[in-house]
Structure 1
Amino acid sequence: MDTVIYSLLTIAYLILFAVVVLLAKWHSWADIGNVLLMVILALLYDNGILALGKYIGEGDLLRALNLTRYYLHALITPLLVLFAWNTLVKANLKWAKKGIVPWLAVLLTLCLIIIEFVTVVRGISLEPTMKYGALSYKNVGAGNFPPFMIIGVSIVLVVTSIMIWIKQKWPWYFIGTLIMCLTPMIHFLKTDALHNIAEFVLILALLATKAYQDKKIYS
Structure 2
Amino acid sequence: MDLVIYSALALIYLILVIRIATQLSGKRQWLNYSIFQIFVLFSLAYDNGIIAAGHFIGEGELLKTLSSVRFWLHAFATPTLILVGYYILRRSQVQFSKHIITHITAWLLTVGLIIYQMVSSTLHEVKSLIPIEEYGVLRYTSESHTSPPFMVIIVGFWLLIIGLIVLVKQKWVWLFVGTTLLFVGQGLQIPIASTALTNVYELILMLSIWITTSRAMLSQRR
TM norm. shorter chain > 0.5: yes
Please say if residues 128 and 136 of structure 1, whose CA atoms lie closer than 8 Å, have aligned partners that are also in contact. Answer: yes
Query: What is the Cα deviation at residue 117 of structure 1?
Result: 1.0
Q: Structure 1 unaligned runs (5+)?
A: none
Higher mean C-alpha deviation, range 113-122 or range 101-110: 113-122
The residue number in structure 2 matching 1:11 is: 11
Partner of 2:100: 99
Aligned pairs, number: 218
**Paired residue for 2:183, among 170, 178, 181?**
181
Shift of 1:123: 1.4
Q: Partner letter of residue 121 of structure 1?
A: T
Q: Contact between 1:74 and 1:113, CA under 8 Å: does it hold in 2?
A: yes
Counterpart AA for 1:164: V
* Structure 2 counterpart SS, 1:62: helix
Structure 1: distance between partners of 2:185 and 2:102: 31
Matched to 1:17, the amino acid is: V
In structure 1, the residue matched to 2:195 is 192
- SS of the residue corresponding to residue 59 of structure 2 reads coil
Pairing 1:79–2:80 present: yes
CA contact (8 A) 1:35 1:79 kept: yes
The one-letter code matched in structure 1 to 2:14 is L
User: For the Cα contact (< 8 Å) 1:33–1:86, is it kept in 2?
Assistant: yes
Matches of 1:142 and 1:186, distance apart in 2: 21
State the identity as a percent.
35
Task: Give the Å deviation of 1:142.
Answer: 3.0
Q: One-letter code of the match for 2:105?
A: L
Match of 2:158 among 135, 156, 159: 156
- How far the C-alpha of 1:94 sits from its partner, in A, is 2.5
**SS of residue paired to 2:132:** strand
CA distance in 1, matches of 2:100, 2:86: 14
Amino acid in structure 2 at the alignment position of 1:197: V
Give per-residue Cα distances to partners, 1:59-97, cap 9 Å, x unaligned.
Answer: 000000110000000010000000111111000112212
Q: Distance in 2 between matches of 1:41 and 1:123?
A: 23
Unaligned runs of 5+ in 2: none
- Counterparts of 2:188 and 2:63 in 1: how far apart (Å)? 29
CA–CA distance in 2 between the matches of 1:109 and 1:71? Answer: 15
Distance in structure 2 (CA, Å) of the matches to 1:190 and 1:209: 33
Residue by residue, what CA displacement relative to the aligned partner does 1:29-66 show, whole Å, maximum 9, x if unpaired? Answer: 11111110100110110111011001111000000011
Instruction: State the superposition RMSD in angstroms.
Output: 1.0
2: CA distance between counterparts of 1:169 and 1:80? 21
Following superposition, the deviation at residue 99 of structure 1 comes to: 2.5
Partner amino acid for 2:157? I
